[in-house]
Amino acid sequence: MKLTHFSLLAASALAVFARAESADTATDASDVLVLGGSDFKDVVNPEKLMLVEFYAPWCGHCKQLAPEYEKAATTLKAESIKLGKVDCTEHRELCDSFQVQGFPTMKVFREGKAYDYNGGRTEDTIVKYMRKQSLPAFSQLKAAGIADFAKKDRLAVIAYLPKGKDSAEFKAIEQLANQHRDDFLFGYSTEAAAAKDMGAKDTDKPALAVYRQFDEPKVLFDGSLADEAAMAAFIKRESIPTMDEVTPENYMTYVNSGVPLAFFFYDTPETRNKYGPGIEKVARKYKKSMHFVYCDAGKYGAHADTLALKSNTWPAFAINEVEQGLKWPFDQTVEPTEDKIAEFVTKYINKEIDPTLKSEEPPKDAEKADVYQVVGKTFKEVVLNKNKDVFIEFYAPWCGHCKKLAPTFESLGKLFKDQADKVTIAKLDLTENDLPPNSGDRVEGFPTLRLYKAKDNAVVEYNGDRSLEDLVSFIGKNAANKIKVPEVPKEDKKEGEAKKDAEGKKEGEAERDEL
């Protein structure tokens, strides 16, 4: 199951605030259309635009979505945008025809053709997303209509194009609009008054500005409107507030921005008001280099652990390079004043401080165990040991699939114990230990199984069945050292087959509910 630490936290947070109502509790007055195999095409295909949810009644996330989806349907009904739903436990073939692999799955239909839905799961995010879908990717506007157009979303990109469609700038921005129609509103005007509205000085030249419902209301682009990459970078940067609350809804926006993320954890409104203004000044100074966010410790304090901060000690501050999994925690014994945070961030920018790696203490006699318990401090010497092939499980103690695998993995360690000079069977708890930067790898879900080959440390991902027989076979085929493939006892073979039959379906259904 491929989920990052914060993705799991985000999912939990959504569960707290969403009402657990069944997707099947719609009343007779429901504005959500109930669709099935017999009438699906007749209802959906004639619609220019429609949103359909594919769900299962037992799915917890579907139950959380239900009231929000219902409210969105009522709001959008007034705009002639219909919402429907399909119960995949009753219409499995229909759901399979649209490659539905998890619940809920939402798809946008345009005259019967399906497209992935990339919006949120609240009334507000669903409505905004579908409104964008109902508009042209690049709308022509009257100068007098710019203000109303910009109010339709938190951010709108407006261009002034005196030559209209007959320009290289139009083609470049239109291409950008088509690529990002799910993310932002795009519009243009040929009227000189539009240039004046956005703050451009020369009405003879094209101009582009971002209109926002936060920070500065208008920000003018100072580059070439024929440079699509530069415009995209500008819009992406200006689409994120100087310092906003991080939530499950916007977290991936920050992750996808590709720049470091600085968290300020606060426990009370008083703490936020005391230190926030000073940290916001630092955020404005370094906006082009990194993003700053407020993080409500009452809701997401557990995330502090993943940033090497002590939880329940607030306020707190840390910088996180999300993609690399690196973090720089600010000393929690020091008051996070504007000057202190500015000094800390400056040192980070100048690469004067090293990232902090979380690690447990190495267990005594770890090498004597059938499965070597690796920790952050011993990863390099054990896993990146070029004299041995190392087959390692990255796990979390709370992970149900990891618990199921545990006895099989212990048996695997026993089978290879007499070849410990060539092969190491190991495991690492990623909730308590970080991978070092030189590991050259990231782990995004649990359990993750990988073979680090002897001689060159080449990594081979294991994606097969988790039976003892298959694990042994994988190591035998991929190990760099010459090893003797141990014989799997007959009782373990039978047990493995029984587990495939008895647990395979259950495990698959559980994953569908989480995705």
Quick one: fold of 33-133?
Glutaredoxin (3.40.30)
Alpha carbon distances (Å) from 37 to 73, 89, 97, 113, 338:
21, 12, 11, 16, 60
For residue 385, the 8-state DSSP code is -
The share of the chain scoring above pLDDT 90, in percent, equals 68
The span from the CA of 190 to the CA of 207, in Å, is 11
The span from the CA of 236 to the CA of 120, in Å, is 19
**β-pair partners for 294:** 245, 264
3-state secondary structure of 397: coil
pLDDT of amino acid 11:
36
Quote the tokens at residue 126: 């669903």
Instruction: Please compute, for residue 489, the number of CA atoms within 13 A of its CA located in the half-sphere on the CB side.
Output: 8
Assess whether pLDDT exceeds 90 at residue 358. no
pLDDT of amino acid 12:
34
Q: How confident is the model at residue 462 (pLDDT cuts 50, 70, 90)?
A: very high
Q: How confident is the model at residue 28 (pLDDT cuts 50, 70, 90)?
A: low
The share of the chain scoring above pLDDT 70, in percent, equals 89
Q: What is the helix (H) or strand (E) element at residue 66, kind and residue range?
A: helix 60-77
Assess whether pLDDT exceeds 90 at residue 509. no
Of the candidates 453, 474, 465, 475, the one whose C-alpha atom is nearest the C-alpha of residue 496 is: 465
3-state secondary structure of 25: coil
Task: Using alpha carbons only, give the angle 57, 62, 67 rounded to the nearest 5 degrees.
Answer: 110
Domain boundaries, the chain: 33-133, 136-239, 243-350, 366-478
For residue 353, the 8-state DSSP code is S
Q: Which residues are within 8 A (CB) of 371 and not within 5 positions of it... i.e. 6 or more apart?
A: 409, 410, 412, 413, 425, 426, 427
CATH number of this structure's domain 366-478, picked from the four choices 3.40.30.10, 3.40.50.2300, 3.90.550.10, 3.30.360.10: 3.40.30.10
Catalytic residues: 59, 62
Q: What is the pLDDT of residues 463-499, one digit of tens each?
A: 989 999 999 999 999 999 999 999 988 766 655 554 5
User: Which CATH code for domain 243-350?
Assistant: 3.40.30.10
Do 65 and 123 meet the contact criterion of CB atoms below 8 Å apart? Answer: no
pLDDT of amino acid 497:
52
Assess whether pLDDT exceeds 80 at residue 192. yes
Domains 136-239 and 243-350 share a fold: yes
Flag the least confident range among 56-60, 160-164, 340-344, 442-446.
442-446
Which of the listed ranges 1-10, 30-39, 337-346 does the model predict with the highest average pLDDT?
337-346
pTM for the full predicted model: 0.57
Of the candidates 408, 407, 430, the one whose C-alpha atom is nearest the C-alpha of residue 474 is: 408
Of the candidates 139, 132, 10, 32, the one whose C-alpha atom is nearest the C-alpha of residue 83 is: 32
Quick one: fold of 136-239?
Glutaredoxin (3.40.30)
Q: Look over the chain and give the mean of its residue pLDDT values, rounded to a whole number.
A: 87
Q: What is the mean pLDDT of residues 291-301?
A: 95
Of the candidates 414, 417, 416, 409, the one whose C-alpha atom is nearest the C-alpha of residue 392 is: 409
